[in-house]
Structure 1
Amino acid sequence: MQEPVTRLYKLGVQIAFNLAIIVLVLGMFVGVWRVLANLGHTLTAVDTAEAFQTLITDALTLLVVIELVRTFVDYFEWERVRIHVLLDAGAIFLLRELIIKLYTSGYAGQEVVWWSAGILLLMLARTLAVRWSPPAHCESEAGGG
């Protein structure tokens, strides 16, 4: 009884992740198109500061989407979620927010220190996760093999 339910669960997870990857890849193409379209807008814009802000925001958002796609693809490759890949995505997201706020002069001095400390902690956690990752035999067993 348990084996058919487990197979059904694994099939459901595979379908959900495949759909998520398709949506994220489409979003990635839309993001690339937006960056290219905004590049043209930047060249012809009257307000260049706003045009550059839009271009930077779209390009950094595209990096976050790329990291999310990488996380999903990595799940299929290893059949588990690897913490350092999630920490990469989190760090990219925090860097995106920090850069956008700095570009728009939206942060005071102490806020920048706190955001930088958060990014530093994520990168320290990522380094520790890579340094003490599970042995190769545990990785193959974690995948249900």
Structure 2
Amino acid sequence: MIMRVYDSVVDVVVIGLVLIMLVTLGFAFFDVAAGLFRLLPTIKTTELDATEFRDLVSSVLDVFVIIELFSTFVQYVKVRRVRLSMLIDVTAVFVLRDMLVTLYGQTFETSQLIVLALLLIVLVIARSITGFFPPKSWKES
């Protein structure tokens, strides 16, 4: 009985998180769209390294991170577990976003960029390894 209550509570929490993520994704999309519409009248005079343009690029990359997180939650709802490969994917997208924002903003130190690149290499290797060892089914474990 306790396990059924636990499962029900977890289901309610996860569904609530999925709804929150969906609302967050909608707000993030509308923020990107609003930023684009604010930038459109001055697009010919705006330089690619202008603060407004950098903020728009950063917002677009944030949306991709939210999409990856959202897909992880949706996968949990479908399979009832979080796959390691999905977590690695989310982390890799976040690291790539951080690298791109840092590079684009031209506010980086070489050591910081090297650490991010090494982290990304480790994540890619870990993601490749997860492809060789598929998860066991619930019956096997």
TM-score scaled by length of structure 2:
0.90
Deviation at 1:52, TM superposition (A): 0.9
Which sections of structure 2, spanning at least 5 residues, go unmatched?
Answer: none
Contact 1:63/1:92 (8 A) holds in 2: yes
Which sections of structure 1, spanning at least 5 residues, go unmatched?
Answer: none
Aligned to 1:133: 134
TM-score scaled by length of structure 1:
0.87
Which amino acid in the other structure matches residue 93 of structure 1?
F
Question: Alpha-carbon deviations, 1:11-65, whole Å to 9, x = none?
Answer: 0100000000000011101111111111111223476511111111110110111
RMSD: 1.8
Which amino acid in the other structure matches residue 39 of structure 1?
L
1:24 aligns with 2:25: no
Regions of 4+ moved over 4 Å = 45-48
Contact 1:80/1:142 (8 A) holds in 2: no
Aligned residues: percent identity? 25
Q: How does 1:1-145 map to 2 (within 5 A)?
A: 4-45=1-42, 48=47, 49-134=50-135, 138-141=136-139
Cα distance between partner residues in 2 of 1:130 and 1:20 = 28
Q: Number of residues paired by the alignment?
A: 137
More helix by share: 1
